Chains A and B, each alone.
Chain A
Amino acid sequence: MVLLVPDDMPLDGANTLAGDVDEMRALYKDWGEWSPREITSKQLTASVQILVFRSYLLSASPSING
């Protein structure tokens, strides 16, 4: 499961950090039934490793034809 949320990690820090379960759950607390709230609220997510990655894009490749 992948959860995309606003980037609040320090810019001068690492691009990958260990995720905090409670912090993750708080992000989805107002969501409806049958949503990430329901899935992440269960104890089963407490036992797995959660990683947080900063998300990057690359600019469009320049043309190599001309």
Chain B
Amino acid sequence: MKEALDKYSTKPSRVNMLHWKGEIISHMDFAESASKYPGTFYWDFHRANLHRCLLDRAIELGATIKTKARVLDVEPSSDGYNATLTLENGESYLADLVIGADGINSHLREIMVGREDPPILTGDLAYRLLLSTKEMLKDPELASFVTDPQVNYWLGPDAHAGKPY
């Protein structure tokens, strides 16, 4: 998948932990970190691009994608070698392997642990925003965020922030 992903990757040079007033608390150089593990590297993605590449590759390998197929129940067989999935529309499937990846409000996780297991409040909110790199390049104070991509975390009173590039 390297070739497909490369088109969407940002290759930041380092990660910085910054004080809220601007000074660097700590940093790590990605090339130096990766050099200890030949063949590895640090790439960053917008999650939608990463998801698209994974989906395309799964289809290329022969996967069938079925949407509007909410799983209501998973029942392991008595010998434990497979499991039957029951969908909301009444259909059922016999599966050798079931991977529950249904998010923070996971229903499959609750079936697995056999009890309600609601998510826990962190007390935080996350503002998520996409910035226009085209507009950033026009601004002398912001252009380097685009031309020299780095991962930045700012730590401050009651708040912190992360900016991949």
Residue ranges of A at the interface with B (Cβ–Cβ < 8 Å): 1-9, 19, 24, 27-28, 31-36, 38-39, 42, 44-45, 47-59, 61-62
Contacts and interface: CB of A to CB of B under 8 A. Distances in A.
Interface stretch (B3-11, B30-38, B71-79, B123-131): B123-131
B45 interface: no
B113 to A, nearest CB: 6
B159 to A, nearest CB: 5
B62 interface: no
15 contacts: A1-B163, A4-B161, A4-B162, A5-B124, A5-B127, A6-B124, A7-B123, A31-B156, A36-B154, A38-B141, A42-B135, A44-B136, A44-B142, A53-B126, A53-B128
Contact of B122 (A27, A44, A55): A55
A35 B157 CA distance: 13
Given A4-B125, A38-B141, A39-B163, A58 B130 contact: no
A62 B127 contact: no
Contacts, number: 138
Contacts of B22: 31-35
Interface of B: 18-23, 104, 106, 109, 113, 117, 119-132, 135-136, 139, 141-142, 145, 154, 156, 158-164
B124 A7 contact: yes
Given A1-B162, A5-B127, A38 B142 contact: yes
A58 B132 contact: no
A58 B104 CA distance: 7
Contacts of A47: 132, 135
A8 B141 CA distance: 31
A52 B117 contact: no
Contact of A5 (B117, B120, B125, B141): B125
Given A36-B154, A44-B139, A52 B127 contact: yes
A52 B21 contact: no
